[in-house]
Amino acid sequence: MFGVPVEVEPGILRLTLPLPTGPRHVHSYLVRGDDGWTLVDTGLGLPETPWAEIAAGLDAPVTRVFVTHMHPDHVGGAEAAAAATGAPVLQGQLDYAQCERVWGSDDWPRRIADWFLLHGVPEPVVEELIESGHVSADFVRFAWNPHPVRQGDEVDGWRVVATPGHADGHLCLLRDGVLIAGDHILAPITPAIGLYPESRPDPLGDYLDSLRLVEELAPRVAYGGHGAPVTDPAARAREIAAHHERRLDEVEAALDGVPRSGFELSHAVFGRELPPAQRRFAVAETLSHLERLVVLERAIRHEDDRRVTYTAP
């Protein structure tokens, strides 16, 4: 049910909010600490989200809002949630910097359009891809100047764990074997790992490291932003890593001596017929795998100021 907190275990409530696209839902969490409830993630920012009612239904105040990452379905409701509860917003520094660049600036659509052109996306398709991004962007109301948090910080008894990959500045919370996972570990869907302009150079490499971290931490359960709780996060981390190994092989197999763009190679991996929103992810995901292959010396990148292409070594 949307908008009504449900207890998943003592002291942890799941709050599911609607999304107009994609998986159609996103989970926020309320976690009980010594001084009240911490709200983790805030949905897309749809104007009808009843934050005041949600807060009023709790047995203690919401004392802070914690943002795992700057994607629209996690940060979009931050301003409204903070306003309704009076609670401060906590967000990673790198994540907030990217959040401001993407959602808080007028020239982002132009910059991402140029970047898609650089990666071989034809002009009319670029227009479609940019258009598809507006579906979410119109609702995003992030909180300006949040309180910065970083890896290792304690938030009301929870430890902040940096898990870059799905987003460069992605953070999780960990306490007593419970990982509030954002979009780092999900089931049954696999988190998207894309390369985007002005992002870290090898997001898939970052992500695979962050999956290994989950194996080491071996939490009892992970509560993610979409789908079902993950009851064996270490095993799920291995499964997701294996999925990316297979995809790396697929992308590598599409390479030969002819320089090909990320757009062209995305056809080989994800097919030619995709609606714009999915094509956007397909290009970004193909590029993250290509950049990983470059690091592994299984691909070569060629670039000038007009075009980036890849070949087999």
- The C-alpha atoms of residue 292 and residue 245 are separated, in whole angstroms, by 10
Give the nearest distance from C-beta 62 to Zn ion in angstroms: 21
Rounded least distance, CB 99 to Zn ion, Å: 14
Q: Tell me which stretch binds Zn ion (CB under 5 A): 131-139, 141-149, 217-225, 278-286.
A: 217-225
Shortest approach of Zn ion to residue 242 CB, angstroms?
Answer: 22
How far are the Cα atoms of 54, 244, 270, 274 from residue 255, in angstroms, in the given order? 51, 17, 14, 21
Select from 191, 205, 225, 262 the one that contacts Zn ion (CB under 5 A).
Answer: 225
Structure tokens given for 275: 């609606």
Does position 233 bind Zn ion by CB under 5 A? no
Closest-CA residue to 33 (of 124, 138, 155): 155
- In the bound state with Zn ion, the residue whose beta carbon lies nearer, of 146 and 225, is 225
Q: Does 41 bind Zn ion (CB under 5 A)?
A: no
Question: Is 164 one of the binding residues for Zn ion (CB under 5 A)?
Answer: no
Q: Which stretch binds Zn ion (CB under 5 A): 29-37, 181-189, 287-295, 296-304?
A: 181-189
Contacts of 47 (CB under 8 A, 6+ apart): 80, 139
Contact assessment for residue 197 and residue 218, using Cβ atoms and an 8 Å cutoff:
no
Cβ atoms within 10 A of the Cβ of 134, count?
A: 10
DSSP state of 231: S
Per CB under 5 A, does 73 bind Zn ion? yes
Nearer to Zn ion (CB atom), residue 41 or residue 264: 41
- Give the C-alpha distances (Å, rounded to integers) separating 98 from 70, 111, 116, 146, 154: 7, 13, 18, 13, 23
The answer to the question of residue 183 lying near Zn ion (CB under 5 A) is yes
Tell me the number of residues near Zn ion by CB under 5 A: 3
Segment contacting Zn ion (CB under 5 A): 158-166, 177-185, 189-197, 275-283? 177-185
CB-nearer residue toward Zn ion: 73 or 202: 73
- In this chain, which stretch among 109-117, 139-147, 218-226, 247-255 interacts with Zn ion, using CB under 5 A? 218-226
CA distances from 240 to 70, 110, 198 (A): 22, 33, 25
Q: Which residues sit at the interface with Zn ion, rule CB under 5 A? A: 73, 183, 225
